[in-house]
Structure 1
Amino acid sequence: MQGINFIAIDFETATGKRASICEAGICVVRDGKIVETRSWLVRPQGNSYSYWNMQIHGIRPNDTADSPEFPEVWTEISKYLKDIPVLVAHNAAFDIGCIRHSLELYGMEKLEITYYCSLRAARKLYSFGCNSLDYLCDQFRIPYGQHHRAGDDAEMCARLFLKELEDAGWCGWEEMGNCGGKL
């Protein structure tokens, strides 16, 4: 899959607010191959968590008490985006919303980034009754680590999106245009 370059991204949040990122994960894909997966624990503003969010991902305030805040982590992620300004997320509305709300909260500049949604692509390509990330990965025997941990979910998303591109007979990003947008 020569020329297929993107960064799959995933966020976990401490509360129901999109700007309460407590973990960020990326999976870098170059020429259709996964070359790196990273994750960062992030201290959300006030380091406060909701019970329900902790039940989903297992991250607690003491896990992020000494972690960097979003601006520092975003600076690191942005270094990857300079080379590959294309993001992919499963349910991109959530993850792109996390980026937008966090950039606004911290008064940071928005980058010129194109994004695609593997959930929207799945709904377009397949006729499963469920399109959750873990369900789709199970259907396609895509291996994954700990679901609802950002690095693992980013890599699951990357593997799923590569499968979707293959199944769509991908020839160019414009074919996936109805599955994405601009940051």
Structure 2
Amino acid sequence: MQGLNFIAIDFETATGKRASICEAGICIVYEGKIAKTCSWLVRPQGNYYNYWNMRLHGIGPKDTKDSPEFPEVWAEISDYLKDCPVLVSHNAAFDMGCIRHSLELYGLEKPDVTYYCSLRAARRIYDFDCNTLDFLCNQFEIPCGQHHRAGNDAEMCARLFLREIRDAGYCELEEMNYCNGRL
């Protein structure tokens, strides 16, 4: 899949608020291949967590007390976006909401980015009763790291989206216009 470049992204949150990011993960796809996966623990504002979120991802205040806040992590992610302003996430409504709310909270400028949603793509391409990231990855024997850890989920999403593009018979992202939007 030459020319196929995107950055899969995933966030974990400390509370029900989208701007409470406690972990960010990206997986860079270059020329249709996984090039690099990164993740960062992020100190949410006030370093406050609720029980249910901690139970889901296993991250808590002790893990992030010395971590950078969102603006510092976003600066690193933005460096990657300069070369490839295309994001992919599984349930983009959640992850793009995390970005929008966090940018607003910290008074940061919103970049000009196109995004694609692997969940919306799966619902259109496949006929499964369940379309969660871990379920789909299990169906297609895509390696799963620790689910609900941002770096692992970003890479799982990248691998799933590459599969979806192949299964849909596409060779360019623009052909997946039914599952995209603008940040």
Report if TM-score (shorter chain) is over 0.5: yes
Deviation at 1:178, TM superposition (A): 1.3
Residue number in structure 1 paired with 2:156: 156
TM-score (norm 2): 0.99
Count of aligned residue pairs for this structure pair: 183
Residue number in structure 1 paired with 2:169: 169
Structure 1, unpaired ranges of 5+: none
Residue number in structure 2 paired with 1:92: 92
SS at match of 1:123: helix
Distance 1:170 1:127 in 2: 18
Residue number in structure 2 paired with 1:19: 19
Residue number in structure 1 paired with 2:105: 105
User: What are the equivalent positions in structure 2 for 1:65-144 lying under 5 Å apart?
Assistant: 65-144=65-144
Distance 1:9 1:181 in 2: 15
Residue number in structure 1 paired with 2:64: 64
SS at match of 1:34: strand
Deviation at 1:16, TM superposition (A): 0.0
Deviation at 1:163, TM superposition (A): 0.1
CA deviations 1:52-90 (Å, max 9, x no partner) are 000000001010000000000000000000001000000
Distance 1:37 1:12 in 2: 16
User: What are the equivalent positions in structure 2 for 1:27-42 lying under 5 Å apart?
Assistant: 27-42=27-42
SS at match of 1:37: strand
Identity of aligned residues (%): 77
TM-score (norm 1): 0.99
SS at match of 2:18: coil
Deviation at 1:28, TM superposition (A): 0.2
Deviation at 1:14, TM superposition (A): 0.1
| Structure 1 segments (4+ residues) deviating >4 Å | none
